[in-house]
Amino acid sequence: MPNSKQVSIPTFKQVQKAYLKIRDKVHRTPVMKSQKVNERAGGALYFKCENFQKVGAFKFRGATHAVGNLSDEDAKNGVATHSSGNHAQAVALAAKQRGIPAHIVMPENAPKVKVNAVRDYGANITFSESTQESREATLEEVIQKTGATFIHPYDNPNIIMGQGSAAIELLEDKPELDIILAPVGGGGLISGTAIAASGFSPETKVIGTEPEVANDAYLSFKTGERHPVQSTDTVADGLRTSLSELTFNCIQQHVDDIVTVTEDEIIEAMRFIWERMKIIIEPSCAVPVAAVFNGKVDVSDKKAGIIITGGNIDLDHLPWQDFEN
Amino acid sequence: MPNSKQVSIPTFKQVQKAYLKIRDKVHRTPVMKSQKVNERAGGALYFKCENFQKVGAFKFRGATHAVGNLSDEDAKNGVATHSSGNHAQAVALAAKQRGIPAHIVMPENAPKVKVNAVRDYGANITFSESTQESREATLEEVIQKTGATFIHPYDNPNIIMGQGSAAIELLEDKPELDIILAPVGGGGLISGTAIAASGFSPETKVIGTEPEVANDAYLSFKTGERHPVQSTDTVADGLRTSLSELTFNCIQQHVDDIVTVTEDEIIEAMRFIWERMKIIIEPSCAVPVAAVFNGKVDVSDKKAGIIITGGNIDLDHLPWQDFEN
């Protein structure tokens, strides 16, 4: 019998169905490889390039599925969320494509470029203070006023199912992968990825990767008890959130291991990929690359897929520049 | 009868043959597009991504062809060139792949990262002073000593033929292009591109693009007299060279127009592509993009291919950062 904390997690069939629903609305992103990267890694790496996804991040998959899955009744007053990152743009564009309003709460100190991107997709923006409490309270007010449906960035089965579609495409292109690596923030991507692999390719191991300074998923996984994130002081700005009960359960059931890397390792791996592959990847997805480069995951003579989560970064402040000064 | 200045230019058949010779040695690079870029351009742009080519630039095509085409007798003492840029790496790798020595003269102030890249390919490096005279004199000494064959970066029909293979691949993928745009430095790429298009797709117009401050090709094209470049003060570091008689003749015969753009336009276009397409392009290939974005070439309701020449850039000094300070 399930214990009281257990919540029902999405099935492989649900991830498959989600993929079929959204496949015409999302880009089928390319899988890239590089001889120089493989020489360094000592194995064959396959990059699933969600930095080329719409809005520049995999988040558009989950948002498209979650927004598309609402009943007309639930959808008619629009959708709402709070985010200063990729999820905000993803929900804004998914809502625009469905033809319903999007209400996005953003902290007043959010970068102007991100605010403009959300506005360009036609969303209504409400500013809050930058604390978590203020963001949640402001979102609550917006929902009260508009009747919009809240789209949580990861504590939502429909989001998890949508995120899993990236791994389905990756495994369709490269069915022989020994390992798939993805970063862990709130856990939506790694959950969807692991569920997808469990059904599509059960022999493929799925490994989560996390910054050492924001290692809540690592601690939760190792101890079997959910730990909230203690510090958000990582360059990997997409990974500063804690697991939810739902994503923790997905991880416990389907993820094979979680490893951590240092900030220096993240920045160095990110720069290496920019220089050798000529693609712009955000710090969050340099985390699994760093794990491979620094021996945290052994890929010798193996084939490993890595979900490149996105490419949204402030080009005026690159981490190796901040880092060196 | 040809006048005394006329030199024999490569034919379309020679470009085709070059392509067949090198096709297994070079990457077939992808053709990318972006809805956001097209919205801004007002037409459909197709990027031939030579930033994903080996050594990070199209130069590897020409070098592979020129080095591969040497007789065993000419090849046995190796090849030599002077370059601080992509041609140096291209010749070094092409020689390595043929199993012959490469002797590269580099200015003593060349960026360390470029020196290391050339050294990593196993080339012998000789340093010179940074003046053109010193580079040429040092190269002459190296050739005297080693008996190596000089591989000029563009004043060489075999180089031009090899560079033309990028346009052949582009036109194979997108035969319906109305226009192809490429930057003009020494003229090797635009020559090969225009010869390829003239045979493969005679209706496709080929337009060269150049920085306004290094507009030697523009002046030469418009006046019918070859002008040397007067200033090398452009951010587009690959375009600081003058046409040769050979490339000028190719351009006169096959190129439809040459247009120029300002430094500000180059930097802004480059940043736009990084932000929207998440690919790293060097300033030189932002020049044709800038031409389209700023109305120098009208692509309204047209399909235009752009050769993205490379992605080699110093990530510590991005031009919008230098520019803003």
User: What number of CA atoms fall less than 13 Å from residue B228's CA on the CB side?
Assistant: 1
Whether the pLDDT of residue B14 is over 50: the answer is yes
Closest-CA distance, B28 to chain A, in angstroms, reads 13
> Residues of B with CB below 8 A from A280's CB?
274, 278-280
When pLDDT is cut at 50, 70 and 90, the band that residue B4 belongs to is very low
Identity of the amino acid at A226: R
| φ and ψ at residue B46, rounded to 5 degrees | -125, 120
Give the C-alpha separation, A1 to B243, whole Å.
79
Contact A233, A212 (CB under 8 A): no
Contact A254, A246 (CB under 8 A): no
* 3 state SS of B153: coil
Q: Across the interface, which of B56, B280, B316 has its CB nearest the CB of A321? A: B316
The pLDDT value recorded for residue B322 is 64
Closest-CA distance, A312 to chain B, in angstroms, reads 7
CB contact under 8 A, A311 and B278: yes
The pLDDT value recorded for residue A246 is 97
More confident residue, B273 or B325: B273
Whether the pLDDT of residue A64 is over 80: the answer is yes
Contact A48, A307 (CB under 8 A): yes
Residues B228 and B254 in one domain: yes
Q: Give the CA-trace dihedral at B69, B143, B87, B91, to 10 degrees.
A: 50
With pLDDT > 90 as the criterion, what percentage of chain B qualifies? 87
Residues A290 and A250 in one domain: yes
Q: What are the CB-based long-range contacts (under 8 Å, 24+) for B315-321?
A: B315/A271, B315/A274, B315/A275, B315/A318, B315/A320, B316/A320, B316/A321, B316/A324, B318/A315, B318/A318, B319/B235, B319/B266, B319/B267, B319/B270, B319/B283, B320/A315, B320/A316, B320/B267, B320/B268, B320/B270, B320/B271, B321/A316
Give the C-alpha separation, A162 to A189, whole Å.
9
Whether the pLDDT of residue B2 is over 80: the answer is no
Residue B2 within any structural domain of the chain: no
Residues B141 and B161 in one domain: no
What is the total count of domains within chain A?
2
CB contact under 8 A, B320 and A320: no
CA distances to A5, A86, A236, A240, B273 from A233, in Å? 29, 19, 9, 8, 30
> Residues of B with CB below 8 A from A324's CB?
316
Residue A6 within any structural domain of the chain: no
Closest-CA distance, A51 to chain B, in angstroms, reads 7
Range B150-158 average pLDDT: 97
Residue A7 within any structural domain of the chain: no
User: What number of CA atoms fall less than 13 Å from residue B217's CA on the CB side?
Assistant: 35
Residues B315 and B248 in one domain: yes
What pLDDT digit, counting tens, does each position of B206-235 carry?
Answer: 999 999 999 999 999 999 999 998 877 899
Rounded to two decimals, what is the model's pTM?
A: 0.94
Range A30-56 average pLDDT: 97
Contact B235, B263 (CB under 8 A): yes
When pLDDT is cut at 50, 70 and 90, the band that residue B7 belongs to is confident
CA distances to B207, B285, B295, B309 from B288, in Å? 9, 6, 11, 10
Place of tokens 């010179």: B128
Residues A126 and A193 in one domain: no
Which residue in chain A has the smallest CA separation from B27? A34
Residue B317 within any structural domain of the chain: yes
What pLDDT digit, counting tens, does each position of A289-323 carry?
Answer: 999 999 999 999 999 999 999 999 989 889 998 64
Give the C-alpha separation, A38 to A222, whole Å.
30
Mean pLDDT score across all residues of chain B: 94
From B319, B312, B305, B293, select the one nearest B30 (Cα to Cα).
Answer: B305
- Per the structure block, which two tokens stand in for A68? 């598309």
What pLDDT digit, counting tens, does each position of B292-322 carry?
Answer: 999 999 999 999 999 999 999 989 889 998 6
Q: Range of A241's domain?
A: 12-58+156-324
CB contact under 8 A, B315 and A318: yes
| φ and ψ at residue B23, rounded to 5 degrees | -60, -30
With pLDDT > 70 as the criterion, what percentage of chain B qualifies? 97
Q: What is chain A's alpha carbon radius of gyration, rounded to the nearest angstrom?
A: 18
Identity of the amino acid at A112: K
Alpha carbon of residue A175 to chain centroid:
22
The pLDDT value recorded for residue B213 is 94
Residue B306 within any structural domain of the chain: yes
Q: Give the CA-trace dihedral at B190, B196, B199, B201, to 10 degrees.
A: -80
Interface test with A, best of B278, B309, B321 (most A CBs within 10 A): B278
Residues B122 and B264 in one domain: no
> Residues of B with CB below 8 A from A111's CB?
none
> Residues of A with CB below 8 A from B311's CB?
278
Decide which of A123, A150, A177 is a domain's last residue.
A150
Contact A49, A236 (CB under 8 A): no
Decide which of A107, A123, A150 is a domain's last residue.
A150
- Per the structure block, which two tokens stand in for A302? 């193996």
Residues A174 and A235 in one domain: yes
Q: Across the interface, which of B30, B32, B278 has its CB nearest the CB of A280? A: B278
Which residue in chain A has the smallest CA separation from B282? A278
**CATH number for the domain harbouring residue A280:** 3.40.50.1100
User: Which strand ranges, in their side-by-side order, compose the sheet holding A257-261?
Assistant: A31-32, A44-49, A303-308, A179-183, A205-211, A257-261
Closest-CA distance, A277 to chain B, in angstroms, reads 7
Whether the pLDDT of residue A110 is over 90: the answer is no
Closest-CA distance, B56 to chain A, in angstroms, reads 8
Residues A167 and A204 in one domain: yes
- Per the structure block, which two tokens stand in for A126? 């409400």
The pLDDT value recorded for residue A145 is 97
Residue A3 within any structural domain of the chain: no
Decide which of B150, B183, B202 is a domain's last residue.
B150
* Of the candidate ranges A4-13, A54-63, A102-111, the one whose mean pLDDT is the lowest: A4-13
Which residue in chain A has the smallest CA separation from B272? A315
Which residue in chain B has the smallest CA separation from A33? B52
Whether the pLDDT of residue A193 is over 50: the answer is yes
Residues A199 and A235 in one domain: yes
When pLDDT is cut at 50, 70 and 90, the band that residue A273 belongs to is very high
Which residue in chain A has the smallest CA separation from B309? A278
Interface test with B, best of A28, A48, A278 (most B CBs within 10 A): A278
Q: Across the interface, which of B52, B274, B279 has its CB nearest the CB of A315? A: B274
Whether the pLDDT of residue A325 is over 50: the answer is no
CB contact under 8 A, B56 and A278: yes
Residue A2 within any structural domain of the chain: no
Which residue in chain B has the smallest CA separation from A277? B52
Which residue in chain A has the smallest CA separation from B325? A316
| φ and ψ at residue A107, rounded to 5 degrees | -65, 145
> Residues of A with CB below 8 A from B30's CB?
30
Whether the pLDDT of residue A177 is over 70: the answer is yes
Range B112-121 average pLDDT: 89
CB contact under 8 A, B279 and A274: no
Residues A314 and A166 in one domain: yes
The pLDDT value recorded for residue A5 is 54
Give the C-alpha separation, B75 to A268, whole Å.
39
Q: B168-192: buried (b, 16+ CB within 10 Å) or exposed (e) per residue?
A: bbbbeebeebbbbbbbbbbbbbbbb
When pLDDT is cut at 50, 70 and 90, the band that residue B85 belongs to is confident
Residues A224 and A241 in one domain: yes
> Residues of B with CB below 8 A from A318's CB?
315, 318
Whether the pLDDT of residue A6 is over 80: the answer is no
* Of the candidate ranges A11-20, A128-137, A187-196, B86-95, the one whose mean pLDDT is the lowest: A128-137
Q: β-pairing, A31-32 with A44-49?
A: antiparallel
Find the chain B residues whose C-beta atoms sit closer than 8 A to any C-beta of A. Answer: 30, 32, 51-52, 56, 271, 274-275, 277-281, 311, 315-316, 318, 320-321
* 3 state SS of A255: coil
Dihedral over Cα of B152, B157, B162, B163: its sign: positive
Longest C-alpha distance within chain A, in Å?
Answer: 57
When pLDDT is cut at 50, 70 and 90, the band that residue A30 belongs to is very high
Contact B182, B164 (CB under 8 A): no
CB contact under 8 A, A318 and B318: yes
Whether the pLDDT of residue B42 is over 80: the answer is yes
Instruction: Give every CB contact of residue B20 below 8 A, 6+ residues apart in sequence.
Output: none
Which residue in chain A has the smallest CA separation from B276? A56
Residue B296 within any structural domain of the chain: yes
Contact B265, B236 (CB under 8 A): no
Whether the pLDDT of residue A4 is over 50: the answer is no
Instruction: Give every CB contact of residue A97 below 8 A, 6+ residues apart in sequence.
Output: A25, A64
CB pairs under 8 A between A and B: 41
Range A233-262 average pLDDT: 95
Closest-CA distance, B49 to chain A, in angstroms, reads 10
Whether the pLDDT of residue B6 is over 90: the answer is no
From B282, B283, B246, select the one nearest B265 (Cα to Cα).
Answer: B283
What pLDDT digit, counting tens, does each position of B45-55 carry?
Answer: 999 999 999 99
CB contact under 8 A, A278 and B320: no
Closest-CA distance, A278 to chain B, in angstroms, reads 5
Say which DSSP state A119 is in. H
Closest-CA distance, B245 to chain A, in angstroms, reads 34
ipTM of this model? 0.93
Q: What is chain B's alpha carbon radius of gyration, rounded to the nearest angstrom?
A: 18
Q: β-pairing, B179-183 with B149-150?
A: unpaired
The helix, strand and coil proportions of chain A, stated in percent and rounded to the nearest 5, come to 50, 15, 35
Closest-CA distance, A240 to chain B, in angstroms, reads 23
The pLDDT value recorded for residue A3 is 44
The helix, strand and coil proportions of chain B, stated in percent and rounded to the nearest 5, come to 50, 15, 35
Q: Across the interface, which of B32, B277, B280 has its CB nearest the CB of A274? A: B280
Residues A64 and A197 in one domain: no
Range A210-223 average pLDDT: 96
Say which DSSP state A52 is in. G
The pLDDT value recorded for residue B230 is 83
